[in-house]
Structure 1
Amino acid sequence: MTDRAEGRIVRTAFIAVTTLFFAWGFITSLIDPLVAAVKGIFTLSNLQAQLSASAFFIAYGFVSFPAAALISRLRAARAILLALAMMIAGCLVMLVAANLAEYMLVLLGLFVLASGITVLQVAANPLAANLGSPEGSHFRLTLSQTFNSFGTFIGPFIGAVLFLEGVEVAEGAAITPEARDAALAGIDKAYFWICGLLALLLIFFFFSRKTVSRAAPAAPPARGTTTMLRDTLSSRWALFGALAIFLYVGAEVAIGTQLALFLNSGDIWGSSDAAFSVPFLGTAMGSDGVPGVSLQEAGKAVSFYWGGAMVGRAVGSVLLARFRAAPLLFAFTAIAALMCLYVVLVGGVGAGFVALAIGLFNSIMFPVIFTLTLERSSASAEATSGLLCTAIVGGAVVPPLAGTIADGAGLAMAFLAPAACYVMLCAFAFTAGRTNTVHKVETTSLH
């Protein structure tokens, strides 16, 4: 096979895999408006509402290592097809939950949906990094994550439109039966269409599976979950990287899931029209003519938090081609920590804009932490990837902590939780910059 033909196969496989990044980004970001919606629909506290995020992200803790073992047996292409089927099953549970108005079924549906996404991530993250030269691994994974960010950008907006019409959660406010029914119908509609789109994606990937299999790295010998866990526990950098992923995802999700509630609060944007004067942001929010920012308008604004991550990853792809990854990660985590502290210490209308802008600096964190760890881990890439995806369970732990702080001290003080996470990520980036790589991310082999 000629080099040109090999390159064409690799590029086609990379495009197919990148479509998956968009899909799971869109689905995951629907959690943000969903948390705000269920808080009003089922009259929940901040902590109880954040259990929606926990039900979703805890799947990573249970499924990642079994997924890694499964992928070592099935290979990535077949595992991805299985993952898409699991995601369709999760959507069907969500449809039942919306029609029966049962919060426990919502939690179950989110867990099943996230289980499929977990298998998808364990397979797709190292696959995207490996589809090309080792020197381009940071760039490729960051580029794929840019499309993931596009999905997370449009997800909260669509979710806010469908889930939050007429829903209010201010103290003393009661949701009307009409608004409750409309919110449940919106949840039903969203997951019905997602189910259909996932079915189309499954069909598309079924016909792309041979191309992906040819471009993927050679499969390692099949290993069980216990063997892979023992492998990762022997690597200090695999554990260190897992802690970093835990902190990053926890911080990002804790901010995203409470952001609509935060922006809607009276001391931020709830009594101010300042956001409507900002180009693009004000247009997207679409003022309803009532002074202040409603919960639905705030939910639409959350898209710009994730949109910042999308822009940041596009810019980060360029920066990573010119600057070393570890120092860049240190700068981004330090800025994010300072922005959280601004929200806590200064507050006011300006804090709403600062909170939205944190997404810009979240942008490169996941792909850079992932590839820095793969380069330094003495464990296999599959075992390391399994542990890193397990660590996404941070999204189930940090948001309830932030919700507890919000219930006791207010939504602004809850930003202390992600601030602490970002400070610890600064330490990870600093240490990575002073540590030599063990090996390069594996190169692609065709067979």
Structure 2
Amino acid sequence: MEHPMQPVLATGAMRSNAGHTGPLVIITILFFMWGLLTSLNDVLIPHLKAVYDLSYVQAMCVQFCFFGAYFIVSLPAGALIKRIGYQRGAVTGLVIAAAGCALFYPAASGGYGMFLLAFFILAAGITMLQVAANPYVTVLGDPVTASSRLTLTQAFNSLGTTIAPALGGALILAAGVRGAAELASLPVAGQLAYRAEQAAAVQGPYLVLALALLALAAVFAFAKLPVISYAQASAAEAHGSLLRHRHLVLGAIGIFMYVGAEVSIGSFLINFLGERHIAALSPADAAHYVSYYWGGAMLGRFIGFGAMRAVSPGKALAFSAAGSVLLIVTAVTSQGALAMWAIIAVGLCNAIMFPTIFSIALNQLGPRTGQGSGLLCMAIVGGALVPFAQGYLADRIGLQISFLVPAVCYLYVLYFGLKYAGMYQQRPPA
């Protein structure tokens, strides 16, 4: 019987901080790419909603399929990576993600369901990358500074999420989409032709992304990365329940809540900024402000990389979550520029949440670290369910008030940060 294993640098692999720099740079490229691909959803959701005349709940099926893949694929991905290794696992993830991007071409004529299938396959590849890359970063260096390193790599993930909305807005939303009343005035044949034309706007950008992912797969296949193997667990550790680690279980819930809240805000942001009493922006113009939302997370992660080497991660997490709740309440109870900038500023508060929750949850798991990472990646399914819940409320009680859903999620993150504020303290660099 196979035993659970812990990722460690194999004998003879590079162990100095200087030796880790090259591999970390290469792994950081992965973080950038999946950030870009994930954030493009925020542009496609309002586009597909308008093209196919969808309700908010129907439009959120994009995130349901995308982040639902994390729940379905995480454990099989972990098992596959255990068999073929981290590097080959990353290459496999890139190839699968490329296949998902390529499917957007036939989806333009295949309807909304075909788009949802493409989103699922794309996310399956990204899930493989997540399962491989996050523990890789925690191993490449001092365990005490794992949260700081993850924050730095997540900053480049945020660079991808910052670029994507503006790029997608220019390439996909620039032409604009006719309103429901204007579209209804066309004959049936004209409506079908128009929907096909608008849906085809995604073909070119996603074909380019597919080619870029395949090129990256080739680079990673031949890159000289340190080999990370697994240390065998003891028999007692092998048969012990992973769920007995309370901080891991609560951390998994924290990942669910945080990812759900962050994704939900990004998913509705273009529509929110289009509301007449908020900013009355066109989808193409609003897409630039989505970049500000994700750009805030990028800026905050670069700041957090240095600050969290001296500040307790739990305290920093609690402070950020409290700020998110206050900003959302402000956005829900106000209008105009105040509401607009309050909801955008939540991005800055999001900055350190994922890497901090992730590293706290994996702290001192020993041989169960790999399994713990798989559980945490499964919890990313929050990005599928929380937007769906907000969409349900938006259809029934209004878009603005529905933002209280992510506010509730951040309240849990606040609790988690306070609970583990003293779990461990990052020591400042020598």
**Normalising to structure 1: TM-score of the pair?**
0.86
Match of 1:85 among 95, 117, 130: 95
Counterpart-to-counterpart distance in 2, 1:96 and 1:378: 46
1:11 to 21, 29, 48: 21
Q: In 2, are the aligned partners of 1:39 and 1:169 still within 8 Å (CA)?
A: no
**Equivalent AA in structure 2 for residue 366 of structure 1:** F
Aligned to 1:278: none
Matches within 5 A, 1:67-216: 67-98=77-108, 100-168=109-177, 172=181, 174=183, 180-181=195-196, 183-208=198-223, 211-214=224-227, 216=228
Q: How does 1:286-325 map to 2 (within 5 A)?
A: 293-325=281-313
Amino acid corresponding to residue 150 of structure 1 in structure 2: L
The answer for the alignment partner of 2:33 in structure 1 is 23
Q: Deviations over 1:196-241 (max 9, x none)?
A: 1001101110111xx3233x3x323499xxx989742232222111
Q: CA deviation at 1:165?
A: 2.7
| Alpha-carbon spacing, 1:233–1:42, altered in 2? closer, same or farther (3 Å) | same
> For the Cα contact (< 8 Å) 2:233–2:367, is it kept in 1?
no
Q: Residues of 2 paired with 1:52 and 1:70: CA distance?
A: 26
Kindly tell me: are residues 174 and 139 of structure 1, through their superposed partners in 2, closer, same or farther at Cα, counting changes over 3 Å? same
Equivalent position of 1:287 in the other structure: none
Asked if structure 1 preserves the Cα contact closer than 8 Å seen for 2:158 and 2:298, the reply is yes
1:343 to 2:337 alignment: no
1:32 is the counterpart of 2:42 = yes
User: Which residue of structure 1 aligns with residue 3 of structure 2?
Assistant: none
SS in 2 for 1:12: helix
Are the counterparts in 1 of residues 393 and 399 from structure 2 also a CA contact under 8 Å?
yes
**SS of aligned partner of 2:310:** coil
Residue in 1 that maps onto 2:273: 263
Cα separation, 2, equivalents of 1:220 and 1:72 = 11
TM-score by length of 2: 0.89
What residue identity is the alignment partner of 1:157?
A: A
Shift of residue 303, structure 1, vs aligned partner? 0.7
Q: Deviations over 1:349-390 (max 9, x none)?
A: 310111111100001100000001111547711011000000
2:263 pairs with 1:248: no
Deviations 1:285-320 (A, max 9, x none): xxxxxxxx2121112221110011100111111211
Equivalent of 1:57 in 67, 73, 81: 67
Pair 1:3–1:70, CA change in 2 (3 A): closer
Deviation at 1:81, TM superposition (A): 1.1
Distance 2:92 2:214 in 1: 12
Change (3 A) 1:68 1:49: same
Contact 1:122–1:389 (Cα < 8 Å) also in 2: yes
Residues 228-237 or 113-122, more deviating = 228-237
CA, structure 1 residues 47+165, in 2 after alignment: closer, same or farther (shift >3 Å)?
Answer: same
1:289 — aligned with what?
none
Letter in 1 for 2:42: D
Which stretch of structure 1 is more off in the superposition, 403-412 or 41-50? Answer: 403-412
Letter in 2 for 1:124: A
Aligned 8 A contact 1:65 1:228 in 2:
no
Q: In the aligned structure 1, how far is the partner of 2:144 from the partner of 2:214?
A: 35
Distance 2:334 2:413 in 1: 23
Matched residue type, 2:115: V
RMSD: 2.5
Report the CA distance shift for 1:346/1:88 in structure 2 as closer, same or farther (over 3 A).
same
Letter in 2 for 1:344: V
The offset of 1:170, in angstroms, is 6.2
Residue 386 (str. 1) matches residue 374 (str. 2): yes
* CA distance in structure 1 between the partners assigned to 2:230 and 2:92 by the alignment: 18
Following superposition, the deviation at residue 139 of structure 1 comes to: 1.4
The question of whether the paired residues in 2 share the 8 Å contact of 1:40 and 1:167 is answered with no
Letter in 2 for 1:207: F
Q: Residue 254 of structure 1: CA displacement?
A: 0.5
In structure 2, relative to structure 1, the CA distance for the partners of 1:321 and 1:8 (3 Å cut) is closer
2:406 paired residue among 402, 418, 421: 418
Please say if residues 312 and 424 of structure 2, whose CA atoms lie closer than 8 Å, have aligned partners that are also in contact.
Answer: no
1:355 corresponding residue in structure 2: 343
1:78–1:378 Cα change, 3 Å: closer
> Deviation above 3 Å: which 4+ runs of structure 1?
1-9, 166-183, 220-223, 227-231, 376-379, 434-437
SS in 2 for 1:219: strand
Structure 1 residue 405: Cα displacement: 1.1
Alignment check: 8 A CA contact 1:237 1:378 kept: no
Equivalent position SS for 1:96: helix
SS in 1 for 2:53: coil
Measure the CA separation in 2 of the matches of 1:328 and 1:76: 30
Can you list the C-alpha shifts for 1:37-88, whole angstroms capped at 9, x where unaligned? 0001111001100110111000011011111122222110111111111111
The match for 1:407 is 395
Q: What residue is the counterpart of 1:274 in the other structure?
A: none
Distance verdict in 2 for CA 1:234–1:170, change over 3 Å = farther
| Superposition deviation, residue 184 in structure 1 | 2.2
Provide the C-alpha distance between the structure 1 equivalents of 2:14 and 2:215, rounded to a whole number of angstroms: 30
Whole-angstrom CA distance in 1 between matches of 2:284 and 2:214: 29
Change (3 A) 1:229 1:65: farther
User: 2:131·2:373 contact (CA, 8 Å) conserved in 1?
Assistant: yes
Q: Which runs of 5+ in 1 are unaligned?
A: 271-292, 441-447
